[in-house]
A = this chain, B = another copy of it.
Amino acid sequence: MKKFRLFTPGPCAVPEEVLLEMSRPFHHHRTDWFKGFMKAAAEKLQQVLCTRHEVIIVTGSGTAAAEAAIVGIHGPGSKLLTIEAGKFGQRWGEIAQQHGISVTRHAVEWGDTISPEQVAELLRKDAAITAVMVVHSETSTATKCDLQGIGKVCQQAGKLLLADCITSAGAMPLKPDEWGVDVVITGSQKALMLPPGLGFVAISPRAWSAIEANKSQRAYYLNLNKARKSAAENDTPFTPAHLLVRGLVKALDVLLEEGLEKVWKRVASMAAATRAAGSAIGMPVFSKSPSDSVTALKPPAGIAVKDIRTDLEERYGIESAGGQDQLKGKILRLGHMGYVDEMDTILAIGALEQVLYKRGHKFELGAGVTAAQKSIAERS
C-alpha cells in the first residue's frame, strides 16, 4: 500500500466532495443554471478575500490573472515598481517588460523581504511611479511581506497597489479594503482548495478607473473590461472552465463553513509547528520573514534535498517541493494550504524524521514531532 499525500505549496489537497462535485453532469454555460454558480462564486470569493471589490474569474493560471491586471492597468503615462524577492516577483517584472510597460524592477535578496519604509523611500526617489506590485507570500522563498504596512505607504503616496496573493489569499490574514490593496491576484489551486485552472482578480474602484482610462490595452482574452461587462450579468466573455467554477463554489463553502479566522489560525498553527520541528531536527527555517502558507527548511549538511524528497515520496507518498532557480538544492518546502490540518503536519514531520534518520542524520528521533505537538497545543 502506498498512500498519496500532497504537501506541495500548490496544487494543494482538494476535499473529496469538491472533486466529486466536478464529476456531476453539467449544463451549458449560457444558462441561468451556470449564472447561479457564477454569482455564488463571485460573492463567496468576496467573503474569502475579505473585500467588497468586484472579483473577476479568469480561466487560466495565476499568471494569466496577474498579466490581465498588469496590462489592464498600465498604459502610456503609467509606471510600475515591482518588488522582486523571488521567482514570482521576477515574473511580474518580466511581464511588464515584455509588454513594453515602463517599469522599475527592484530586486531584494531571496529569503528576505522589503519593509514599508523601504517602499516609501523608493516612491520618494521616483515620482513617476504610479503603481507598486508586491508578492504577499513569495512561494519560491516561503517569505511574507508586510502587505498592510506597504498598503498604508501606497495610499499615503497616492499609488495603486497590486498584490500577488496567490499563496496568501484564503490562508493568511488579508484585508485588501482596509489595507489599501487595489488589486488582489490569486489562483484556484492553492488555499482555495481547487485543482488548477482558474485565476481571480479583485479590483478596487480606483484601479478600475485606471483600467478604463487605458485606451491602448491590447489583451483580448485577458481583457478585464470585457470580463467586467460580462461579470455584471454573472457571465464570462469567453467559455469558462465551468466544471472548476462549480467546484469552486463547493470549496469556498467548505472554507466559509470553517470560518476564515479559524482557517488562518489553522494554517498559522501548521506553519509554526513545522518551523519548531525544523529547528528541533537540525533543519532551520530559510526565510527571514517566514510565510504561514508554506515553510522552507534548509537541509542538514551532507544530505541532498533531492534525496529527502525522493525518500518522502517513495516511502510515504508525500509530495514536497524543492527550491527553484538559485535556491535549487538549498531548501525543502512544505505547504500548509488546502485540505490539510495540524495532524497532517504531524504526519509529514514524522515522515521527514524517518527519512533523515535513515539517511544517517544525527538528531534526537521524535524531537521534531514533539516540538510540533507542543507548538500546536500552545496555540489551540
Where the two chains meet, the residues of A that have a C-beta atom closer than 8 Å to any C-beta of B are 4, 6, 8, 10-11, 14, 19-20, 22-29, 31, 59-64, 67, 94-95, 98-100, 187, 189, 195-197, 218-222, 238-244, 319, 321
Contacts and interface: CB of A to CB of B under 8 A. Distances in A.
A350 B40 CA distance: 36
A291 B241 CA distance: 26
Nearest to A198: B241
Contacts of A25: 4, 19
B64 A28 contact: no
Contacts of A220: 63, 67, 94-95, 98-99
A370 to B, nearest CB: 29
A319 B34 CA distance: 13
Given A67-B221, A218-B98, A218-B100, A240 B29 contact: no
Contacts of A31: 319
Contacts of A62: 239
A196 B29 contact: yes
A196 to B, nearest CB: 4
A96 to B, nearest CB: 9
A213 to B, nearest CB: 17
Contacts of A100: 218
A147 to B, nearest CB: 23
Determine chain A's interface SS by DSSP, over half rule. Answer: loop
Contacts of A95: 220
A62 B99 CA distance: 23
A242 B27 contact: no
Contacts of A61: 59, 221, 238-240
B4 A29 contact: no
A24 B16 CA distance: 9
A195 B319 contact: no
Contacts of A27: 4, 6, 319
A11 B242 CA distance: 10
A188 to B, nearest CB: 9
A173 to B, nearest CB: 25
Given A67-B221, A220-B67, A220-B95, A19 B23 contact: yes
